Amino acid sequence: MTLWVFGYGSLLWNPGFEVIEQVPARLSGYRRSFCMRSIHHRGTPEEPGLVLALDASDEAHCDGLALAAAPDQSEAVLAYLRERELVSAAYLERLLPLALEDGRDVTALVYVIDPDHVQYCALELEEQAQIIAQAVGGRGPNSEYLYNTSTHLETLGLPDAELQWLDKRVRELTA
């Protein structure tokens, strides 16, 4: 059986596993948001950065990519993703329905934010920009994460208005 994974942030540009098929997809009931404080990859415990997460919202949807792993690699991909995404237990692993752009419906592995976790936050866009412009973690500058994600979404024809605004504002702040 094919393991489908929903990419909405860094999985778009750095899945970390061999993708045998990728299809634009929509996840209903969640919105993409910089609502997770990053204390490992894009910040530190002393100076947290922000990373994207899927925040539950009844009226929302998130456009991204459905990424298919080779069936014989499913267990290895799952182990890899758990090590990568569940490093601080702020994400919850879910199997959720995705509507693929080509008309198919699949069930995909999705990482959503735990709103009760200490790393969860709900910040205004300007505050997000201020944090992203300064934070640096084990995987590099927080701004790099924003720029890569925003650029890939635009290239895929899936622009995100909030990320576009943040991209522009963070570039202003770091100029």
pLDDT at 1 over 90: no
Strand partners, 164: none
Considering 46, 47, 85, 93, which one is annotated as catalytic?
A: 85
Cα dihedral 20→76→64→104 (10° resolution) = 60
The pLDDT of 42-62, averaged and rounded, is 95
- Do 92 and 119 form a contact (C-beta atoms < 8 A)? no
3-state secondary structure labels for all residues of the chain: CCEEEEECCHHHHCCCCCEEEEEEEEEEEEEEEEEEEECCCCCCCCCCEEEEEEEEEEEEEEEEEEEEECHHHHHHHHHHHHHHHCCCCCEEEEEEEEEECCCCEEEEEEEEECCCCCCECCCCHHHHHHHHHHCEECCEEHHHHHHHHHHHHHHCCCCCHHHHHHHHHHHHHHC
Has 47 been annotated as catalytic? Answer: no
User: pLDDT tens digits for 123-156?
Assistant: 999 999 999 999 999 989 999 999 999 999 999 9
Residues 6 or more apart in contact with residue 80 via CB below 8 angstroms? 16, 17
For residue 20 the two structure tokens come to 């045998």
Helix 125-134, helix 142-155: angle, nearest 10: 120
Distance, in Å, from the CA atom of 175 to the CA atom of 173, rounded to the nearest integer, reads 6
pLDDT at 170: 98
User: pLDDT tens digits for 53-93?
Assistant: 999 999 999 999 999 999 999 999 999 999 998 888 899 99
